Chain A
Amino acid sequence: MQPRVKLGLLQRTYIPEVLIGLIITARHFFVNLRNHTLRLMGSRSVQPGAVTIQYPEERRPLSPRLRSLHRLTKREDGAPRCVACLMCETVCPARCIYIVPKENPDPHIEKMPARFDIDLGRCVFCGFCVEACPEDAIRMDTGILQFSASSRKDMIYTMDQLLAHKPASSQ
């Protein structure tokens, strides 16, 4: 641990440090105010007065590794790839995945989900489900970041919804 810095009398009055702080913030204020004003008046050569991004209009590109809303992948015939092995449900630290298995008509696949719900109100987007999946049946590459619902129940995404999601690269 760093030893505590012994403060001098002047520092203990706070006054010089407070003044320095006020000068810094005031400088930001006036410089940014000037830049805002100049840009409002049409000058493009000055720096913008703010570094923020106006979200819905301006968007930053998504990283290909970004974990976004889940999707369930499909087999060639459109059936879910998921075999309801419950690895994702087991590994999920938020316990937000609810899978109910059923018999698959194809005896070589044996098992398939009758129900595959993700409670996005609980999901922490850790991506463990994607890591755990032995069938590459669940991915988090839809690029969907905005989703909301007006009830907790609506935050639970069902298998049909998850199967309908498309990867971000396809859009």
Chain B
Amino acid sequence: MPTLTIDGIEVTVPDKTNLIEAAKMVGAEIPHYCYHPGLSVAGNCRMCLVEIEKAPKLAIGCFTPCQEGMVVHTSTEKVLQARKDVLEFLLINHPLDCPVCDQAGECWLQIYYMKHGQYESRMMEDKIKKHKKATAIGPTVTLDQERCILCARCVRFCDEISKTSELGIFNRGNHAELDVFPGKELNNKYSGNVVDICPVGALTDRDFRFQCRVWYLDTQDSICPGCSRGCNIQVHYNLDRPHHAEGRRVLRLKPRFNPEVNKYWICDEGRYGYKFIDDESRILMPQVMRNGGMEFVSWDEALKASAEKIKASIPEELGVLASPQLTNEELYLIRKLFVEELGATQVEFRVPPKEEGYSDDYLVKADKNPNTKGAEEIGLAVGSAEEILKAAAEKKLSALVIFVHNLVNSGLDDSLVKAALEGVETLIFIGSNFSDTSEKANVILPSATYAEKSGTFANSEGRVQRIHEAVPPLGESLPEWQILNELARALGLDWDYQGTEHIFAELAKDVPAFANLTYEILGDQGQTLGYVPPAEEEALVEHGELEAVRAT
């Protein structure tokens, strides 16, 4: 634990901390390109030069570990001049095509030029043209060699994180250029991350290419619903200028740093898994079967129709298929409404997938649902989906409520699903997108996607993390918790939930695993189930009971 002085402020840092990280702690920013906290140190951009007292020359901040008694200056005249000179070198061959560059607006060359550059160009020669101008080097990434500043972050990413080593820097000096190895393409499961870490516009996203300028985007923190890992993400959306990207509102997802879950990365499956949010298959209006066809109706009518059907069935005739795609709050309301109030016994949330999902030893999990853990803790695994469907196929159910699931394309036996969906008298489908299952429904209630509602997911490790409403629900769709609230009111119950925080407080009281948790404690990094507040924890440690509490 060395103690050093940075810009006159004394700070004690953990061992092996470098100067960039130490400077962050005292609020001093050291500009850098090649350094990335999630990757090994390369030290090739020379942007992070700082002045260390008693050292003969400026030293790079990224590769200089903190030592006891160091005195570091991050903004002396010498340092500022060095930064300016490094920037001038980096920009010698950088093309001035910011107007067409997708990185513009979040480009570190632009940002640092405005902060530390601002010099008059002295370049008389023509800029060197490289081979590849906007070439696709894989299914997700476009490479523009001219814009590359050879920081090699992407090369290190492919070597160290994805361990696929598709990228390399070839040739030397002025001819050095970034490229994929011959015969290879950048197609690993994490390839999208190289776009995020590229400080300039050399690697850009093919999916996002020319869709929107980044300064039109707003951001909202969320959790990737793609698998049970629960990677922290940011939803980037554009509501003000709907003529871009054919009116799609959510335009891209970016990973959000969470050291406990995903660090700086997300997989491509999650990154590009947002398309269903603004898809044409979205259900926009409640629909009710009338005279042999589906009719668009108002929410009041649809809820009234659903409530009538549910009321008409005795508890044993009521089946509910909740979904691990739903938030804890919604699952809790499902339990409260269907199990506790209506006494339904045929309640389940697990539907086996058609085939085992892809998984690896890094981020991707086989369970493609974000909240399986939460649903288990809330206690919705009463029967099994197969039993419920069997009962439906045998016409023992008069009403079946299906949340989100597409049974037709699942691991369940197709003939059983078909018989069940046709056998049940009333099929109420609550989901965001049309599917083969929704087609069989008598009542369709449109729900919001995860980007359109707030709530919490519990990932496979039991970490409860919050999602936030980024864009308003499309069409007339509503978040499931609102639908459940309204449905309960239509059933004559005195429910009045004003927001998910309200529901979560009740959930924390009712479900032991969620005890002590509040939205404030969850924060933006989440908290694990079975959380014990620090003050209480200390008391328990004193009495030697902590392990016992954790075990429950």
A residues with a Cβ closer than 8 A to B are 83-87, 89-90, 95, 98, 100-103, 107-111, 115, 134-135
Q: How far is the CA of A86 from the CA of B213 in the complex (A)?
A: 7
Contact call A87/B133, Cβ cutoff below 8 A: no
Q: How far is the CA of A134 from the CA of B99 in the complex (A)?
A: 7
- The 7 A-B pairs with the shortest beta carbon distances in the complex, nearest first, are A85-B99, A111-B100, A101-B210, A110-B100, A107-B133, A98-B243, A86-B213
Q: Which residue among B100, B213, B215, B244 has the maximum number of chain A CB atoms within 10 Å of its CB?
A: B100
Closest CB of chain A to B432's CB: distance in Å?
A: 27
Given the complex, which residues of B lie within 8 Å of A115, measured CB to CB?
Answer: 243
User: Which residues, 243 to 301 on B, are CB-close (under 8 Å) to A?
Assistant: 243-244
Chain A contacts of B107 at CB under 8 A?
none
Which residues of the partner chain A approach B241 to less than 8 Å between Cβ atoms?
Answer: 89, 95
* Across-interface contacts of B104 in A (CB, < 8 A): 85
Contact of B244 among A83, A95, A100, A110 (CB under 8 A): A100
Specify which chain A residues have a CB less than 8 angstroms from the CB of B133 in the assembled complex: 107-108, 110
Contact check, B213 vs A90: say whether CB atoms are below 8 A apart: yes
Residues in A with CB closer than 8 Å to B243 are 98, 100, 115
B10 contacts partner chain A, Cβ-Cβ < 8 Å: no
B146 and chain A: residue at smallest CB distance: A108
Return chain A residues, CB-CB under 8 Å to B134.
107, 110
Known: A100-B243, A110-B133. A135 touches B215 (CB 8 A): no
Within 8 A of A (CB), among B299-320: none
Q: State whether the Cβ of B97 lies closer than 8 Å to any Cβ in chain A.
A: yes
Contact residues of B between 204 and 244, Cβ < 8 Å to A: 209-210, 213, 215-216, 241, 243-244
Q: In the complex, are the beta carbons of A83 and B210 less than 8 A apart?
A: no
CB distance B97 to A110 under 8 Å? yes
Cross-chain contact B100 with A83 (CB below 8 angstroms) = yes
21 interchain pairs, CB-CB under 8 A: A83-B100, A85-B99, A85-B104, A86-B213, A87-B99, A89-B241, A90-B213, A90-B216, A95-B241, A100-B244, A101-B210, A102-B210, A103-B209, A103-B210, A107-B134, A107-B135, A108-B133, A110-B100, A111-B100, A134-B98, A134-B99
Within the complex, the shortest CB–CB distance from B264 to chain A, in Å, comes to 29
Residues of B that sit less than 8 Å from A by CB: 97-100, 104, 133-135, 209-210, 213, 215-216, 241, 243-244
Chain B residues within 8 Å of A98, by CB? 243
CA distance A85 to B209 in the complex (A): 12
Residues of A within 8 A of B135 (CB): 107
Scoring A102, A109, A110, A134 by chain B CB atoms within 10 A of each residue's CB, the highest score goes to A110
B210 near A111: Cβ-Cβ < 8 Å: yes
- How far is B110's CA from A15's CA once the two chains are assembled, in angstroms? 70
Write the nearest CB–CB distance from B143 to chain A, whole angstroms.
12
Is the beta-carbon distance between B244 and A135 smaller than 8 angstroms?
no
In the complex formed, the residue of A with least CB distance to B105 is A90
Q: How far is the CA of A111 from the CA of B213 in the complex (A)?
A: 13
The smallest C-beta distance from A91 to any residue of chain B, in angstroms, reads: 11
Q: Are B213 and A83 in contact (CB under 8 A)?
A: no
Q: What residues on A are CB-neighbors of B98 within 8 Å?
A: 85, 134
Query: Cα distance A115–B245 when bound, in Å?
Result: 12
Q: A86-B213, A100-B243, A110-B100 are in contact. List 8 more A-B contacts (CB 8 A).
A: A84-B100, A85-B99, A85-B100, A90-B216, A95-B241, A103-B210, A109-B100, A115-B243
Return A135 CB to nearest CB of chain B, in Å.
7
CB-based contact A84/B215 at 8 Å: no
Provide the bound-state CA to CA distance between A107 and B132, in Å: 9
Q: Bound state CA distance, A98 and B133, in angstroms?
A: 27
User: Roughly how many angstroms separate A107 CA and B142 CA in the complex, as a whole number?
Assistant: 12
User: Who on chain B is nearest to A100 by CB?
Assistant: B243
Which partner residue on chain A sits nearest B213 by CB separation? Answer: A86
Give Cα A29 to B264, complex, Å: 82
Give the Cβ gap from B142 to chain A, nearest Cβ, in Å. 10
CA–CA, A28 to B183, complex, Å? 90
Write the nearest CB–CB distance from B214 to chain A, whole angstroms: 11
- For B100, list chain A residues within 8 Å (CB): 83-85, 109-111
Q: What distance in Å separates the Cβ of A105 from its nearest Cβ neighbour in chain B?
A: 12
- Point out the residues of chain A lying under 8 angstroms from B209, CB to CB: 103
Separation of A85 and B244 alpha carbons in the complex (Å): 13
Report the minimal beta-carbon distance from A102 to chain B, rounded to whole angstroms: 7
- Roughly how many angstroms separate A90 CA and B238 CA in the complex, as a whole number? 13
Tell me the smallest distance from the CB of B147 to a CB of chain A, in Å: 11
Min C-beta distance of B204 to chain A, whole Å: 11
Q: How far is the CA of A110 from the CA of B1 in the complex (A)?
A: 51
Q: Which B residue's beta carbon lies closest to that of A133?
A: B99
CB distance from B238 to the nearest CB of A (A): 12
Q: Are A135 and B213 in contact (CB under 8 A)?
A: no
Query: Which residues of the partner chain A approach B216 to less than 8 Å between Cβ atoms?
Result: 90
How many Å lie between the Cα of A107 and that of B104 in the bound state?
Answer: 18
In the complex the two chains form, what is the Cα distance from A111 to B210 in whole Å?
8
Q: Which of B99, B209, B216: most chain A CB closer than 10 A?
A: B99
Closest chain A residue to B211, Cβ basis: A101
Closest Cβ–Cβ distance, residue A93 to chain B (whole Å): 14
Rounded to whole Å, the gap between the CB of B127 and the closest CB of chain A is 12
